[in-house]
Amino acid sequence: MSTSSLSTVWKRDHFIKNPWIRWTIIIAGTAYIIFALNDIHFDMQRMREGWPRAVDFFHRMVPPDFSRWPMIQKGVLESLQMAVIATTVSIILAIPLSLGAARNISIKWVYLLSRAFVVIARSFPPIIVAIIFVKAFGFGPFPGILTLAFTALGFMGKLLGEAIENIDPGQVEAVRATGANWFKVQLYGVAPQVMPRYVGLSIYLLDINLRASTIIGIVGAGGIGGALFNAFHRYEYDTAFAILLVIIVIVLGMEFISSKVRGRLQ
Amino acid sequence: MFSVKNLVKKYPTGQMALKGCSVDIDKAQIVSIFGPSGAGKSTFIRCINRLVEPTSGEVYLDDVEITSLKGRELHKARRQMGMIFQEYNLIERLTVMENVLSGRLGYVSFLQAMFRRFPKESIDEAFYLLERVGLAGYHNQRADALSGGQRQRVGIIRALIQHPKILLVDEPTSGLDPKTAMIIMQLIKDLAKEKDIPAIVNIHDVALGQRYADRIIGLTEGKIVFDGPPAEVSEETLTMIYGEEDWSKTIRKVEDEEE
Ligand SMILES: Nc1ncnc2c1ncn2[C@@H]1O[C@H](COP(=O)(O)OP(=O)(O)O)[C@@H](O)[C@H]1O
Ligand SMILES: [Mg+2]
């Protein structure tokens, strides 16, 4: 053996071993960022002009104006309702969907169908889905709920489906061996293994839906977002700020609750 | 009582795991299947309760032909065969009691199973069996809090509470220390005798298998190469099953312990 194999100098392999490829990627990447910054006219002149306007904008937002409280309250409650209904519907529908989207449980054509739905549901941002549903069903919370449930199903179908794919097959096999039928196998062999994940994702989903429900109102899909949009439109920045504060409080509250619940799930 | 005829399993990979195996068991005896790793022992046992679909052949349990059953009929046949696993395969997040009662899943409705409304007789029997194997007081423990030996006891009860007509046991002791392994084998033997049912036990530990079995079957490369009482297992037999090796120590060890 040569002495080099006894050398005490050790270097970790580069992620990309070939130095030519590595340096090409680094140089090209840097060049692209410089080019891109130029292209979007990120210049100091515009920063200087914009800054006072932003400051003025913030001045007009304080103090927040809660005098339109009944309207704010109505919007908030509607958002909350939308989020709760959409979450409930989607966590129930997520069970068959994610079983369908799990390769180890599903059969071929159900799997492909479920996966196709998940891919489609995940590829549209909520705001785009909301625009489509508002066009189809008119203004109000109904298209909003559909929007939230649709995107939520994409989210749950993917993450819960993957959780199901990663379960221990031995436990499923043991339940099958007792003579349990397909449904009872899901109940005893699969459900206990993914239950903490399911509950965690459901709470997280409520969290996501609550945030989204405050935004999709901007395109007319109900909730507090519409009120926020109107306030900006009428230059009532103090009212807008009041609404923003309420949204922040709700989101933080939800964050708190969801971390508490998830903490309890070991 | 129980009969396997010309069982063949060819996996989709092309692997011929079983090349026509026939076994008849006509009394409540412990049948140990010996064979090197990859011989087809697990495949054999899994083809019996159709966790693996056999390619051809027949399996009879009390005149019911199992390989042709479908759906509900298959589930009914499965609940008459208790299976005990190498990795215990308990439902880790459920309690000991729920694991034991899962052995009754073939008998209760979906809603009963969902709301854990098992018949009183089953619960009484579960308590009795837990005490019988030395796990009294463990019923509300989660399965993942148990040691290997304790888990396998739960695995044994789960199989027994099915009221099976046969036990299918796949390497029950390979994750256990030698002492616990012997206790578990003794327990399986005692309970099988108590219920008067046969047990097919895959085992790679020759000494352990010989000690607890009434009958040994040697399986090599998917073929049965030996079938006889433990006393007839000689060095030549073991060489035939496992290949060339110095077997004198293995065999003598059993005789020593017997004295
Ligand atoms: N699911 C499977 N797919 C393909 N080949 C398999 C599968 N399970 C087992 N085999 C093969 O079949 C043969 C027998 O395996 P197995 O029954 O597990 O043997 P043993 O339990 O005696 O160790 C081995 O060659 C193994 O690689
Ligand atoms: Mg095996």
Residue B194 confidence class, pLDDT cut points 50, 70, 90: very high
Average of per-residue pLDDT across B130-139: 92
- Residue B243 has a pLDDT of 79
Task: For chain A, give the mean pLDDT.
Answer: 88
Q: Where are the domains of chain B?
A: 2-258
The mean per-residue pLDDT over the stretch A9-29 comes to: 87
- Per the document, the length of chain A is 266
A-chain residues near B106 (CB < 8 A): 178-180
Q: What is the pLDDT averaged over residues B225-254?
A: 77
pLDDT score of B253: 54
pLDDT in the model for residue A4: 53
- Best mutation target among A95, A178, A194, A198 (most B Cβ atoms within 10 Å) is A178
| ipTM for the assembly | 0.91
Interface membership of A184 toward B (CB under 8 Å): yes
pLDDT of residue A97: 96
Q: Give the model confidence (pLDDT) of A42-62 as tens digits.
A: 677 778 888 888 888 888 888
Residue B258 confidence class, pLDDT cut points 50, 70, 90: very low
Pocket probe mutation, ligand 1, options B19, B43, B217, B241, max atoms within 8 Å of Cβ: B43
User: How confident is the model over B48-62, as a mean pLDDT?
Assistant: 94
HEC-encoded secondary structure of chain A: CCHHHHCCCCCCCCCCCCHHHHHHHHHHHHHHHHHHHHHCCCCHHHHHHHHHHHHHHHHHHCCCCCCCHHHHHHHHHHHHHHHHHHHHHHHHHHHHHHHHCCCCCCCHHHHHHHHHHHHHHHHCCHHHHHHHHHHHHCCCHHHHHHHHHHHHHHHHHHHHHHHHHCCCHHHHHHHHHCCCCHHHHHHHHHHHHHHHHHHHHHHHHHHHHHHHHHHHHHHCCCCHHHHHHHHHHCCCHHHHHHHHHHHHHHHHHHHHHHHHHHHHCC
User: Which protein residue's CA is at the shortest distance from atom 7 of ligand 1?
Assistant: B11
Give the pLDDT of residue A1. 46
Q: What is the pLDDT of residues B63-92, one digit of tens each?
A: 899 999 999 999 999 999 999 999 999 999
Q: Give me the pLDDT at residue B110, please.
A: 95
pLDDT reported for residue B101: 96
Q: Which residues of chain A lie closer than 8 angstroms to B92, CB-CB?
A: 168, 171, 192-193
What is the percentage of chain B residues whose pLDDT exceeds 70? 95
Residue A17's pLDDT is 82
pLDDT value for A67: 83
Q: Give the torsion sign (CA, B215, B220, B222, B224).
A: negative
CATH of A69-265, one of 3.20.20.70, 3.40.50.300, 1.10.3720.10, 1.10.15.40: 1.10.3720.10
Whether the predicted pLDDT of A191 surpasses 70: yes
Q: Say what the pLDDT of residue A266 is.
A: 57
pLDDT score at B55: 94
Mean pLDDT of A216-221: 85
Mean pLDDT of B11-33: 92
- Asked whether residue A88 carries a pLDDT value surpassing 90, the answer given is yes
What is the pTM for the complete model shown?
Answer: 0.83
The reported pLDDT for the residue numbered A42 is 67
The pLDDT of residue B185: 92
Selecting from A178, A183, A192 the residue whose C-beta is nearest the C-beta of B110 gives A183
Buried/exposed B170-192: b ≥16 CB within 10 Å, e otherwise: bbbbeebeeebbbbbbebbbebb
Chain B contact set for A195 (CB, 8 A): 93
Return the beta strands (E) in B62-204 as ranges: 64-65, 81-84, 166-170, 199-202
Asked if B52 reaches chain A (Cβ–Cβ under 8 Å), the answer is no
pLDDT digits (tens, 9 = 90+) for A125-140: 888 999 999 999 988 8
Q: Which of A168-182, B97-111, B199-213, B229-243 has the lowest mean pLDDT?
A: B229-243
Nearest CA in chain B to A169: B89
Pick B103's closest partner by Cβ from A178, A192, A193: A178
Note whether A198 contacts B: Cβ–Cβ < 8 A. no
Whether A36 has its CB under 8 Å from any CB of chain B: the answer is no
Q: What is the pLDDT of residue A226?
A: 86
Reported as a pLDDT band with limits 50, 70 and 90, residue A5 is low
- CATH homologous superfamily for the domain B2-258: P-loop containing nucleotide triphosphate hydrolases (3.40.50.300)
**Whole-number mean pLDDT of chain B?**
90
